Structures are given as structure tokens and as C-alpha cells.
Amino acid sequence: MIYKLKFFKSAYKEWQKLDPHVRKHFKLHLKKRVQNPRVESAKLRGYPNLYKIKLRSVGYRLAYLVEDEKISVYVICVSRRDKIYEILPRRLNK
């Protein structure tokens, strides 16, 4: 089953600011994840249904939420590795 890809408003703004090269790499990963969003090795500890995509070479992370009821994958945050874990709790509490 293919999930719909949706963005939080703030995550979409971050997405637009990304370097095109970085965005291209994330797109490739997201195409795979909408088909199979639950990758156990990418699960974020302490958050149910929350997963990440890592681009180690450039130091970026993308965090997404899987909602099976709505058959959707929500991109919550796209940022540098050192900042994403500070931003994530604030976005989830809104």
C-alpha cells in the first residue's frame, strides 16, 4: 500500500530552503518510504510511529510520522543533525 506524503507547514518551509542536491537525496528516500514507511532501524526511540531518514554525508535528518488510519506519512522536521532533536519535541507538542 502506498501512503500519502504530507508536510507540516514548518517542515515544508525547511524543505524549500534545502540545497537542491540534499532535497534530491531526500526525495529518493521518501519514494521508498511511502511504499514501506515502517523501517525498524530508522525508528526514533521514545516516540511511537516516528521515524527518521539520515543523510550522513551532509549531516541532515528528516523526521516523519506514520499514521496508518489516514494512510499518510507526515514530514515533521528537516534540519541539521544537531538541531533536529531540539526542534522535534516542540513540533510534536503543537
Which residues participate in catalysis according to the annotation? 52, 81
* 2's grid cell: 502506498
Q: How far is CA 90 from the centre of its chain?
A: 15
Cα–Cα distance between 16 and 68 in angstroms, integer? 27
Radius of gyration in angstroms for the set of CA atoms belonging to the chain, rounded to a whole number = 12
Residue type, 33: R
